[in-house]
Amino acid sequence: MSLLGSYRALDLTEGGCFLCGQILADLGVDVIKIEKPGGSPTRKIGPFYKDIADPQKSLFWFAYNAGKRSITLDVETADGQDIFKKLIKTADFVIESFSPGYMKRLGLGYESLSKINPRIIMTSITFFGQRGPKAKYQSCDLTAWASGGELYVTGDPDRPPNWLSFPQASLHGGLHAAAQTMVAHWYREGTGEGQYVDVSIQEAVILMVECLTPAWDMAKWTITRAAGAYVTPRGLRLNTGFPCKDGFVSLYILGGDVTMLDSCKTLQAWIIEEGMAPDWFKKFNFETDYDSAKLSQETVDQVEGVVKKFLMTKTKQELFDAAMNKRILTAPASTVKDISEDNHLAARDFWVKVKHPELNDVVTYCGPPITPSEPSAFKVRGHAPVIGEHNQEVYEKELGLSKADLVMLKEAQVI
């Protein structure tokens, strides 16, 4: 069983925008990944399987194309456009991430495609959307990360903003594209009408910056880089990440009349119990002496100094166990190794082992972060395809082209 097993999507995206089609594929949609002859340029993004720099072994490609089918097709050619229009008759969704106007210039814009298939939903993912002063600007993931406000708050306070060297912004664009595509699908189910979905990656980034926009809107307060800390409007630096015996933990230390007060009192009692509290700390009142409205940085540093010294005597696991048993607001900062060995994720069958016949090996994938009541309804449905793996299956069996046609199209570099 799959949730959307009777539907088909044509995926023309690149980079992190792949995630949109990946989510649809996990839902059961027959996602046909359309690559230019020779393969998608994103196949050159590492890391690679066993560090072999090969476009057929990109782990980035694997991660966001599992369960899709691959065909090669050059939609810039007249023959390629004709074939694409034939595919449109069989499709329910089109996902693309070209520059605004590119598909329309090829005669493959939404207006043209909806005449062929009125039920088609076309989702375009671009850095700044299809309209507005910046719509046609050349851009990249770093540009979207910066223009969405997230770059400014990433990094150390005494250094310039820092980019996460991974297509993080594009992934958020792909996620929102999948959600909005499903909203359009819901609308179509009720009306029979297709729809055009315009996704801006910049706007997707703005939606993820949490308190940055309301802080400015409500108090004209510009939150800046704090590197594992929280900086208050008064300029106090309150650390939220601390080292421990075998790594790092996240911990909030806040006083006054706040929900975290009980947690701080319990942590204080634990430090006293372990014999690691100075005399002044034993008498310290978090409710009156740690009120952020009148708190000094000197007091913060003194309290955090005691806490840091204590945390360095405990492992992440010891602190996590205490957090659960004593009700302290702390959590381990998990490494990738920790995550891969996490028994909770294992119990939820999050990790999925997928056979790769071309590698003669099994690759472990992240599963969907959702478990419906019917487990098979939303899952990784197969390995990421090699270049043009399904050309014969789609072109011959489904579109009725002959072997001679395929040879001719291949020689003309259409497929």
pLDDT digits (tens, 9 = 90+) for 241-259: 999 999 999 998 988 777 7
Question: Residue 375: is its pLDDT beyond 80?
Answer: no
pLDDT digits (tens, 9 = 90+) for 272-328: 999 999 999 999 999 999 987 889 999 999 999 999 999 999 999 999 999 999 999
At the top level of CATH, the class of 224-336 is alpha beta
Q: What are phi and psi of 354, to 5 degrees?
A: -120, 130
DSSP state, residue 58: B
pLDDT digits (tens, 9 = 90+) for 66-106: 999 999 999 999 999 999 999 999 999 999 999 999 999 99
pLDDT digits (tens, 9 = 90+) for 64-73: 999 999 999 9
Treating both helix axes as pointing N-terminal to C-terminal, what angle do 297-311 and 261-273 enclose, rounded to 10 degrees? 50
Q: What tokens appear for 413 in the block?
A: 């570099």
Confidence of residue 369 (pLDDT cuts 50, 70, 90): confident
Confidence of residue 377 (pLDDT cuts 50, 70, 90): confident
In this predicted structure, what is the pLDDT of residue 245? 96
In this predicted structure, what is the pLDDT of residue 227? 83
CATH 3.40.50.10540 fits 8-208+348-411, yes or no: yes
In this predicted structure, what is the pLDDT of residue 25? 95
3-state helix, strand, coil in the chain (%, to 5): 45, 15, 40
Q: What is the mean pLDDT of residues 125-136?
A: 96
In this predicted structure, what is the pLDDT of residue 1? 67
Rounded to the nearest 5 degrees, what angle is found at the Cα of 185, between the Cα atoms of 180 and 188?
130
Confidence of residue 218 (pLDDT cuts 50, 70, 90): confident
Quote the percentage of the chain above a pLDDT of 70: 100
Q: What is the mean pLDDT of residues 377-390?
A: 91
Q: Are 140 and 32 in contact (CB under 8 A)?
A: no
Q: What tokens appear for 275 in the block?
A: 């014999």
Long-range Cβ contact pairs of 270-273 (< 8 A, separation 24 or more): 270/310, 270/322, 270/326, 270/328, 271/306, 271/307, 271/310
Q: What is the mean pLDDT of residues 26-36?
A: 96
How far is residue 162's CA from residue 212's CA, in Å, rounded to a whole number? 17
Which residues neighbour 51 within 8 Å (Cβ) at sequence distance 6 or greater? none
Dihedral class, residue 287 (left if φ above 0, else alpha if ψ from -120 to 50, else beta): alpha
In this predicted structure, what is the pLDDT of residue 135? 95
Residue with the two structure tokens 């942590």: 267
Tell me if the pTM is above 0.75: yes
In this predicted structure, what is the pLDDT of residue 223? 83
How do the domains of the chain map onto residue ranges?
Answer: 8-208+348-411, 224-336
Give residue 370's Cα distance to chain centre.
Answer: 14
Q: Are 377 and 1 in contact (CB under 8 A)?
A: yes
In this predicted structure, what is the pLDDT of residue 217? 83
Residues in the chain: 415
In this predicted structure, what is the pLDDT of residue 378? 79
More confident: 392 or 167: 392
Q: What is the mean pLDDT of residues 266-274?
A: 96
What is the rounded average pLDDT for all residues in the chain? 93
